Amino acid sequence: MSTLFTVERLEAFAAQVLVALGALDEHARVTARRLVEADLRDRTGHGIIRLPLYAERIEAGGINLRPDVRILHETPVSALVDGDNGLGQVVMTLAVETAIEKAKVSGLAWVGTWRSNHAGAAGVYTAMAMREDLIGIYFAVASANVMPPWGGRERLLGTNPVAVAIPAGAEVPFQLDIATTVASHGTIKVKSQAGESMPEGWVIGMDGEPITDPDRADEGFLMPIGGYKGSGLNFAIGVLAGILNGAAFGREALDHRAVYDVPANTGQAILVVRPDLFLSLDDFKREMDRQLKVFRGSESMTDAPVRLAGEQAAAIEAERRQDGVPVPGALLAKLRALAVRLGVDDQLVEQE
């Protein structure tokens, strides 16, 4: 059973926990906002559920709470952000803000991160660009290796996500946010906390047989989307978000769920494009609206209408902003225990 909380209360609670752990006020607020934005769009595996794990890494010394997050070098259309092992949400927020500023002037911008950490849901960063009438494309090297290259047995690849957000006019914008594995570790964690089984096809064991118990997921491999095609896409993302930035990839990628006291050197990248490079912004939005209507109004195989990426997330976000964000009982108990241990006002996680 879940309890509903307002966005404001969840953000305030998460920020207070991070401050109690030693984070700077502004860094705590930014991180809390990005976590709750993930929950708002039902990316619950990367939302407030991550707070206890972050606390463990912080207390073990694996995250720098007084980082000098800065731009190492830049051109009019690019930048490399040094996260100084700070909170990933803080590092990526600066990266996106930098890319937006440059893209508005130059038409497009690519910004990578180095020495970052797990930054949560990919789609919250592309949405930042989309809200500025810009196209956002995000890549990241995931913070744990969970599958081998196609045909292999050694875990060298993560869930390496990609997200794309494209503005529209009156229609619900297109927003894609996916792992390049069939399921992400965050989704598996949600299944575990809910006491539910995984569908076959998410994870296979070393013997090739399916694993459906989420608590046994680490005994096997996560499966790539689209077979060898997803495996290849996963590797390409690792190059674009990892090698290109000097960040960790392959054997150097750290499992932040298991190693708490070592910097992760996580790599991410954001590409921001102004949609008026070839058409006027108004013309682009009109054409986006026209095509979105065509696709959504196309013939369905079921009684339900055809649905495009981002449509359900937008509806869930609107509902949760009005009614509250659900926090499952098992997670709520962990958050309350964390609050008590850190001396944070427990009223922040109690129902009004």
Residue-wise pLDDT for 53-106, tens only, equals: 999 999 999 999 999 999 999 999 999 999 999 999 999 999 999 999 999 999
| Amino acid 93: pLDDT | 98
| Amino acid 186: pLDDT | 76
Give the Å distances, CA to CA, from 36 to 66, 130, 201, 228: 23, 18, 29, 34
Strands 108-114 and 78-82: parallel
CA distance 278 to 332: 49
At 214, the amino acid letter reads P
> Do residues 85 and 67 touch, judged by C-beta distance below 8 A?
yes
Please report the DSSP string for 143-207 in residue order. Answer: SS--BPSTT--S--B----EEEEE--SSSPPEEEEE-SBSS-HHHHHHHHHHT-PPPTTSEEETT
Q: Has residue 301 got a pLDDT over 90? A: yes
Between helix 123-130 and helix 88-106 the angle, nearest 10°, is: 30
Q: What is the gyration radius of the CA atoms in the chain, in angstroms?
A: 20
Q: Has residue 349 got a pLDDT over 80? A: no
CA distance 185 to 348: 28
- List the structure tokens of 348: 């922040």
Average pLDDT over residues 39-50: 94
CA distance 140 to 268: 4
- Residues in Cβ contact with 62 at an 8 Å cutoff, skipping those fewer than 6 apart: 256, 259, 260, 261, 262, 263, 264
> Do residues 288 and 166 touch, judged by C-beta distance below 8 A?
yes
Percent of the chain with pLDDT over 70: 98
Q: What is the pLDDT of residues 133-176, one digit of tens each?
A: 999 999 999 989 999 999 999 999 999 999 999 999 999 999 99
| Amino acid 300: pLDDT | 96
Which numeric CATH code is attached to 1-59+310-352? 1.10.1530.10
| Amino acid 253: pLDDT | 94
User: pLDDT grade, residue 256 (50/70/90)?
Assistant: confident
Please state the pTM of the whole predicted model. 0.93
Average pLDDT over residues 185-210: 87
- The catalytically annotated residue of 27, 46, 73, 118 is 118
| Amino acid 352: pLDDT | 44
Q: Running DSSP on this structure, what letter comes out for residue 71?
A: E
User: pLDDT grade, residue 346 (50/70/90)?
Assistant: low
For residue 118, indicate whether it is catalytic. yes
Burial letters for 14-40: b for 16+ Cβ neighbours within 10 Å, e otherwise?
Answer: bbbbbbbbebbeebbbbbbbbbbbbbb
CA distance 145 to 155: 6
Q: Where are the domains of the chain?
A: 1-59+310-352
Q: Is 127 exposed, middle or buried (0-12, 13-18, 19+ CB in 10 A)?
A: buried
